[in-house]
Amino acid sequence: MWCVCAARGWHGVHRNWWTQVHLVLGTSIVMGFIFGLIFGVMDVEDKHGWALRNALIHEEHYCLPIGLVIGGIAGYFNSVLRGSGQRQSTQTRQWRMDSDDNL
């Protein structure tokens, strides 16, 4: 984040980036919990060799749709948050330009 702030200045950073960080962090925690639960229920840790490989591939068939749905929802909300931050900065910039014209 420091690189972005240094390159653009503080005015180029979205106002709600902290909310986006919490969204991604919360989503990854929920997904990790669900995948860990699936891993524990399927009893994969007791298998060896090809049986382990087949069990992991079988587990992947359960985890992939869950990850796609949760990741898609988080991506949508992240784009909504990013869009609202850009609208706020555009409105602020427009207000500054209008106030400069009055001088």
Q: What is the pLDDT of residue 55?
A: 85
Q: What angle do CA 83, 88, 94 make, to 5 degrees?
A: 125
| Alpha-carbon span 10 to 12, nearest angstrom | 6
User: Would you call 47 helix, strand, or coil by DSSP?
Assistant: coil
End-to-end CA distance of the chain: 35
Tell me the pTM: 0.61
Q: What is the pLDDT of residue 25?
A: 94
| Alpha-carbon span 29 to 24, nearest angstrom | 9
Q: What is the pLDDT of residue 42?
A: 80
Please give the average pLDDT of every successive group of 10 residues along the chain, which has 103 residues: 53 71 93 90 81 87 92 93 66 57 56
